[in-house]
Amino acid sequence: MFDPLEPFLGKKLLKELLDKLEQFKYKLYGKIPLKFYKGKPTKYEFDLNFGMMHVTEQDCKGLSEIFSEVNKKWNTQMTYCIYPGKEGKREMIMNVRGSPKAPANLE
Q: What's residue 10's pLDDT?
A: 87
CB neighbour class for 17 (10 Å; exposed up to 12, middle 13-18, buried from 19):
buried
Region 61-79: mean pLDDT is 97
Region 56-68: mean pLDDT is 97
Tally of CA atoms within 13 A in the half-sphere of 34 that contains its CB: 21
Q: Which domains does the chain have, with CATH numbers?
A: 11-97 (3.30.980)
Q: What's residue 43's pLDDT?
A: 94
More confident residue, 101 or 8: 8
Per mean pLDDT, which range of 7-11, 48-52, 99-103 is the poorest?
Answer: 99-103
Question: Using 50, 70 and 90 to split pLDDT, how confident is the model at 58?
Answer: very high
Q: CA nearest 93: which of 50, 63, 35, 38?
A: 50
Other CB atoms closer than 10 Å to residue 14's CB: what's the count?
18
d(CA 96, CA 27): 20
Region 68-96: mean pLDDT is 91
